[in-house]
Amino acid sequence: MVVLPFMISMWLSNEFGFFFLFVSGLILISCQGSIKTEIPVIALPEEKQAVSFIFEDEFSVDEKQKLEDWITYTSDCAQRTLGEFPFDLYYHFHREDSSDRAVVFGHTARVDSINAAHFYIDPTYSLEDLKADWIAPHEISHLAIPKLGKSSMWFFEGFATYLSREVMIEMEVFTRQEVDSINQSRIVAVKDKFTSSSKLTFVADSLITNHHHYPAVYWIGASYFHTADKLLDAQNKMKLIDILKEFQVCCHEPAMSVLQVVEAFDQIGNTKIFGELYTEYTEVPVYSLLTEYE
C-alpha cells in the first residue's frame, strides 16, 4: 500500500492509467469490507478523592503535620471499614489549648455538596493520644450516610456511635471482644432512661433538651444497629459494614430521607431487617426496645 500512490501517478500518464485506477478502486472497496478496525479502549484514570486540611487557628509546622497524620490515618481506616465516600473531604482544625483531653469536640458541616468535619483539639497531646479518642471516628462515620433531619437524631447519632467503634477496631484501638463488651454495657447503662410508654422520637427529643442525658439517645440509636448486625449474622446475611461499602457505590445521594437510607440497606443486603426494625423503633413503646439487653 505504500507504493500505490506512486504507481497510480505513473499509470495516469498513459492510456492504461484510468483503467488501473478504476480496478484499484474496486479492489480497495472490496477489501475494506473484510478489514475490521479495532479502536483501542483507553482506560480513563479513576477520579481520586481529594482531601483538604484547613487550619482555622495558629498551629506550628510540627503540630500541623501531626494533625494531618492523625486525620489521614483515621479517615483511611474509616473508609476501609465503611467504604470510600463518593465525595471530596474537608477537615477543619480549631485550637483548644490547656484542655483535659486531646480532642475536645467535633461536628460535621454539609452545605452545597461540601462535606466537612471540624475538630477542636489541644495539639500538645501526642499522636497516639489523638488516635485513641473516639470523636474523629464518630464524626467521620457520620459522613457514611447523608445528612438527615433532626427528627432522626436517634438514628444518625446511633449510626455514628455504633460504627465509630467498628472504625476503631480497624485503627487497632479496640479488639472485637472489647467493642462487643462496650456496646453491651453502654446500652444496658441507658435502659433506665427509656421506661415510658411513649415512642422513641418523643423520648429522644426530651432527653436531648437535657444535655446531660443526650448520650442515652446516642446509645439507644446504637442499639438499633447493634441489633440489626446480630440479626444479619443470625440469618447469614451481609454484615452492616459490607452493606455500607456497597451503599457508597450504588446509593449514597446528598438528599435522602431516613426511610430511603433504610430501604437501600435492605435492598443491598437482600433483607427486611432494617425496615422492620425501624418500624419497631418508631412505633412501639420505648420501654420494650431494650428488653434483650441485660
User: Which H or E element spans position 217?
Assistant: helix 214-234
Q: Which three cell numbers stand for residue 160?
A: 455514628
Give the global pTM.
0.84
**Would you state the pLDDT for residue 84?**
98
Q: Kindly state whether residues 138 and 240 are assigned to the same domain.
A: no
Q: Which helix (H) or strand (E) holds 206?
A: helix 200-209
Same domain, 208 and 256: yes
Q: Indicate left, alpha or beta for 108 from its phi (over 0: left) and psi (-120 to 50: alpha).
A: beta
The answer on 187 and 68 residing in a single domain is no
- The answer to whether the CB of 131 falls within 8 A of the CB of 70 is yes
Q: Are residues 205 and 135 in the same domain?
A: no
In a domain, 13, yes or no: no
258: phi then psi, degrees, rounded to nearest 5: -60, -35
35: left (phi over 0), alpha (psi -120 to 50) or beta: beta
Distance in angstroms (rounded) separating the CA atoms of residues 158 and 231? 17
Residues 110 and 167 in one domain: no
Residue 28 lies in a domain: no
75: CATH? 3.30.2010
Q: Which of 143, 163, 181 marks a domain boundary?
A: 143
Q: Which residue range forms the structural domain that includes residue 226?
A: 155-288
| Residues 274 and 177 both lie in one domain | yes
**Domain end call among 117, 143, 169:** 143
Q: Is residue 106 situated within a structural domain?
A: yes
Under 8 Å between Cβ of 277 and 231: yes
Same domain, 84 and 121: yes
**Are 89 and 185 part of one and the same domain?**
no
Phi, psi of 259 (to 5 degrees): -65, -35
What's the burial of 110, exposed, middle or buried (CB within 10 Å: 0-12/13-18/19+)? Answer: middle
Asked whether residue 275 falls in the same domain as residue 171, the answer is yes
The torsion of the CA quartet 158, 164, 167, 173, rounded to 10 degrees, works out to -140
C-alpha angle with apex 277: 271 to 282, nearest 5 degrees? 145
**Together in a domain, 209 and 113:** no
The predicted structure's pLDDT at residue 8: 36
* Number of domains the chain contains: 2
Q: Which of 121, 143, 165 is the last residue of a domain?
A: 143
- Is residue 136 within 8 Å of residue 121, measured between CB atoms? no
Q: Along the chain (294 residues), what's the average pLDDT of each consecutive run of 10 residues?
A: 39 38 38 43 66 98 98 98 98 96 97 94 98 98 96 97 98 98 97 96 91 91 98 96 98 96 98 98 97 91
Is residue 33 one of the residues assigned to a domain?
Answer: no
